[in-house]
A and B are shown apart, each in its own frame.
Chain A
Amino acid sequence: MLSKRIIPCMDIRDGKIVKGINFEQIREVGDPVEMGQYYAAQGADELVYLDITATHEKRKILLPLVKEIARNINIPFTVGGGISGMEDVNGLLHSGADKITINSAAVSKPQMITELARNFGSQCIVVAMDIKQTDKNGCWFVYTNGGRTKTELKAQEWARQAEELGAGEILLTSMNHDGTKNGFALEITREISNMLNIPVIASGGAGTMQHFAEVFTQGCADAALAASVFHYGEIKIPELKNHLQKQHIPVRM
């Protein structure tokens, strides 16, 4: 049976992981390869690396780093952050990334999704959406530019459009839930996941193991992504998978 995926997400700045894991053997400011290997050994199903390097100059270290990650990790990984065109994607995929994720660039140039899908295949194009519900029971809108810019796009419309344009997967982050540790945005995740034919990765709000169970059952997510609960060791992947398995949620053990 197809399993639900657990995906740790790591932010890279200037070639280093921004938040290190608080474990022994691993430095406070983590090495992306070392952390990836650690998570792969723990049973992570996939990894996401987001490059938040501010300057173009320092971004040049990303490709050799992606190559190092690919050389050392035997599970799929996605790379994103600041991708603006074909050339960026070509470089990342040729360095060994399995998928790339685009966010703001997809909103400003939706045809880019189609171009990328046509050239590299839908399976490696993940469209990331940062969404926010501006008032309770109100609409969910898409935000770009790291959550700083509100657009007039409704989450559901953009998700459907991204699929039609050729996205292979949606990474859905609720800004209302991100960082709260109060659980994922279950309703909107369910609505979008059930509406689409492509997988949806839920992100934002993971605080407990039960939150993951909820986003898979009530939220109908295909995968769940989290950062700090894993980085700080608050949730350990083997325990999390045991917890999910006890509730008959299919996970890779």
Chain B
Amino acid sequence: MKVVVVKYNAGNVQSVLFALQRLGITASLSDNTEEILKADKIIFPGVGEASSAMKELSRTGLTAVLRQIKQPFLGICLGLQLMCRHSEEGDTNCLNIFEEDVKRFNPHEVKTPARSIPYKVPHTGWNTINTLHGNLFKGISENSYVYYVHSYYAETGQQTCATTGYINSFSAALMKDNYYAVQFHPEKSGETGNQIIKNFLDL
């Protein structure tokens, strides 16, 4: 199986490559249109800032390419956010694969007598995923823990296939045709994460 990890100026690609290696897959890192279009599976990772990431994708001509992929495609973290319609981060128009919008967590949104201290942002650590559906979550139980680090989130909508609650409920994962995306880091989410990556590779 040929797996390509999309190369752009986003960080922490190494962990994704290692996670694939642990599953016996040697993926290639590429920003080459032809190579991306020829792959069996495409992974679109990312840690970084939305507007500069979109600029980089436009510069390399990948914006149009990523929108016409027919193979299984998995966005991770910033990858998910870039696949949405628009992000509040840098007021950025994104790839518009998913119709959801990306907002910044507002720690002051929830104030109850039981919680006088604002929530912390970024949302950092292990949180549970719920209302799971779709092939990505085959064999994964409700309330499994996955690892998150992010300050922006995709709202829930038609294409949401898993949710997590932090300040508000948000899209832990999105799905549309061959496009999948997760806000958490499956490559850092222990056995649950491995299973999710495996499910993606099995699509």
Residues of A at under 8 Å CB distance from B?
1-5, 40, 45, 67, 70-72, 74-76, 93-96, 98, 120-124, 168-169, 194, 196-199, 220, 222-223, 252-253
Contacts and interface: CB of A to CB of B under 8 A. Distances in A.
Q: Provide the main secondary structure of the chain A interface.
A: loop
Interface in B77-129: 107, 117-118, 120-128
Size category of the B interface is: 35 or more
Contacts, number: 92
B49 A5 contact: no
24 contacts: A1-B128, A2-B125, A2-B127, A3-B125, A5-B126, A70-B15, A70-B18, A74-B191, A75-B189, A76-B147, A76-B188, A93-B11, A95-B14, A96-B14, A120-B11, A121-B48, A122-B122, A123-B149, A124-B12, A168-B149, A196-B120, A197-B120, A220-B117, A252-B126
A2 B166 contact: yes
A4 B124 CA distance: 10
B128 A98 contact: no
A74 B190 contact: yes
A194 B117 CA distance: 7
Contacts of A2: 123, 125-127, 166
B193 interface: yes
Contacts of A93: 11-12
Contacts of B189: 74-75
Given A2-B127, A5-B125, A199-B120, 13 more contacts: A1-B127, A4-B125, A40-B190, A67-B14, A72-B22, A74-B188, A74-B189, A96-B14, A121-B11, A123-B122, A197-B118, A222-B124, A252-B145
A196 B190 CA distance: 29
A198 B149 CA distance: 12
Contacts of A96: 12, 14-15, 18
Contacts of B147: 75-76
Which of A94, A98, A122 neighbours the largest number of chain B CB atoms within 10 Å of its CB?
A: A98
A142 to B, nearest CB: 22
A3 B127 CA distance: 6
Contacts of A169: 124
B165 interface: yes
Given A169-B124, A197-B120, A198-B120, A74 B194 contact: yes
Nearest to B148: A2
Given A3-B145, A40-B190, A197 B107 contact: yes
Given A94-B14, A121-B48, A222 B117 contact: no
A169 B49 CA distance: 18
Given A75-B147, A168-B122, A98 B12 contact: yes
B21 interface: yes
A178 B18 CA distance: 35
B194 to A, nearest CB: 6
Interface string B171-193: 00000000000000101111101
Given A76-B147, A197-B107, A121 B121 contact: no
A1 B169 CA distance: 11
A3 B124 contact: no
Contacts of A71: 18, 21-22
A4 B122 CA distance: 15
Contacts of B122: 122-123, 168, 198
A96 B47 CA distance: 13
Contacts of B62: none
Contacts of A124: 11-12, 47
B198 to A, nearest CB: 12
Nearest to A74: B190
Contacts of A199: 120, 124-125
Contacts of B48: 121
Contact of A75 (B11, B149, B190): B190
A32 to B, nearest CB: 16
Contacts of B15: 70, 96, 98
Interface string B20-42: 01100000000000000000000
B21 A1 contact: no
